[in-house]
């Protein structure tokens, strides 16, 4: 069965991300067409990229990067739950992405963003990064406003249009993850034989 990782892309104290990511997980878990798991970057503390060689050139020399790779590699696709910080993607999320290469390639990715303007600029940046890694990003993203979608600015209260957008994103994500499976299988064979 298709395996989708839901990546919580913030480690900031008092972050809003766990509520949003749990909503994604709860909604996704009601489906029967894929398995879902929550991947919290707090559980994978990575120093600022410290590998002596770029990840495209082979296995990591550091245990923390190898552990991160082992967590990401089995997934067929991802939902990235990201805040927008100062008009961009959180550094901790970009760093986590940059630690790996082939573990991302030929996989689908969808986005759930949150911020004052819904996190759209963070998603724009992530699409460029993910595309460079050979990932297929799906639309539409789910954009959550910190100003209107959190009751008393603290409790996430998704509205019907968020649920509809998330289900459409998940439909696309699962379909693309399945469509890309032959490319991933071919890449694994090529990697093992080289």
What is the tens place of the pLDDT at every residue in 128-173? Answer: 999 999 999 999 899 999 999 999 999 999 999 999 999 999 999 9
Sign of the C-alpha dihedral computed for residues 171, 35, 79 and 117 taken in this order: positive
Percent of the chain surpassing pLDDT 90? 87
Rounded Cα distance, 155 and 173, in Å: 27
**pLDDT category of residue 186 using cuts at 50, 70 and 90:** confident
Would you state the pLDDT for residue 188? 62
Q: Which domains does the chain carry?
A: 3-193 (3.40.50.360)
Would you state the pLDDT for residue 194? 43
Would you state the pLDDT for residue 192? 45
Would you state the pLDDT for residue 57? 87
Instruction: For the beta carbon of residue 127, count every other beta carbon within 10 angstroms.
Output: 16
Angle 33-34-39 from CA coordinates, rounded to 5°: 155
CA 77 to each of CA 14, 36, 115: distance values in angstroms, whole numbers, following the listed order: 28, 10, 24
- The pLDDT of residue 193 is above 50: no
- The pLDDT of residue 90 is above 70: yes
Rounded Cα distance, 34 and 99, in Å: 26
The string of pLDDT tens digits covering residues 2-45 is 999 999 999 999 999 999 999 999 999 999 999 999 999 999 99
The string of pLDDT tens digits covering residues 54-83 is 888 877 889 999 999 999 999 999 999 999
- The pLDDT of residue 180 is above 60: yes
Helix ranges restricted to H, 17-158: 17-29, 63-72, 91-98, 120-132
**pLDDT category of residue 189 using cuts at 50, 70 and 90:** low
Would you state the pLDDT for residue 59? 79
Whole-structure pTM over 0.75, yes or no? yes
Rounded Cα distance, 167 and 27, in Å: 8
Angle 14-144-121 from CA coordinates, rounded to 5°: 95
Tell me the pLDDT of the chain averaged across its residues: 94
Cβ-based neighbours of 163, under 8 Å, separated by 6 or more: 27
Rounded Cα distance, 138 and 113, in Å: 14
Would you state the pLDDT for residue 191? 47
Cβ-based neighbours of 194, under 8 Å, separated by 6 or more: none
């Amino acid at each position: 069965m298709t395996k989708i990782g839901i990546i919580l892309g913030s480690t900031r104290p008092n972050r809003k991300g766990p509520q949003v990511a749990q909503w994604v997980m709860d909604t996704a878990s009601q489906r029967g067409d894929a398995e879902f798991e929550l991947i919290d970057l707090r559980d994978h503390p990575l120093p600022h990229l410290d590998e002596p060689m770029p990840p495209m050139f082979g296995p990591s020399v550091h245990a923390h990067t190898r552990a991160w790779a082992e967590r990401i590699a089995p997934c067929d696709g991802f939902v990235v739950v990201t805040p927008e910080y100062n008009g961009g993607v959180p550094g901790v999320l970009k760093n986590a992405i940059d630690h790996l290469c082939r573990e991302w390639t030929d996989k689908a990715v969808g986005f759930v963003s949150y911020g004052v303007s819904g996190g759209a600029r963070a998603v724009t940046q992530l699409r460029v990064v993910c595309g460079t890694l050979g990932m297929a990003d799906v639309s539409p993203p789910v954009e959550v406003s910190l100003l209107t979608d959190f009751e008393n600015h603290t409790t996430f209260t998704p509205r019907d249009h968020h649920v509809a957008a998330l289900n459409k994103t998940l439909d696309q994500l699962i379909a693309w993850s399945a469509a890309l499976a032959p490319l991933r299988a071919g890449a694994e064979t090529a990697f093992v034989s080289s």
